[in-house]
Amino acid sequence: MGETGHVAEDRASALPDGTYDALVVDTAEGDDGTVAVDLTIVAGPAKGEVVTLRATGLPGDPLDLLGVPATITVAGGAPSVRFEG
């Protein structure tokens, strides 16, 4: 997969700048074409936190992301996500 999602809106802004290993635990398509992706942080001080990112431009069925490992990068308070696999 190796897709990077453009984050349109997020609830991850509370995370300090850094890189976070995560796992997709839920997705939901919005009426505006965005996909809400819930990710749980799997390592480090934020382990166990669940964050929601609204992404655009993701190919395929959002449900195919369930269980996919991801990397969240927060730089300057702005998150981005890369889905592995």
Please report which helix (H) or strand (E) contains residue 36, including its range. Answer: strand 35-41
pLDDT tens digits for 53-67? Answer: 988 888 889 999 999
User: Count of domains in the chain?
Assistant: 1
pLDDT tens digits for 13-29? Answer: 578 999 999 999 999 99
Domain that holds residue 13: 3-83
61-to-24, 35, 42 alpha-carbon distances in Å: 14, 10, 24
CA 56/CA 7 separation, integer angstroms: 7
pLDDT band at 79 (very low <50, low <70, confident <90, very high): confident
- Mean pLDDT for all residues in the chain: 86
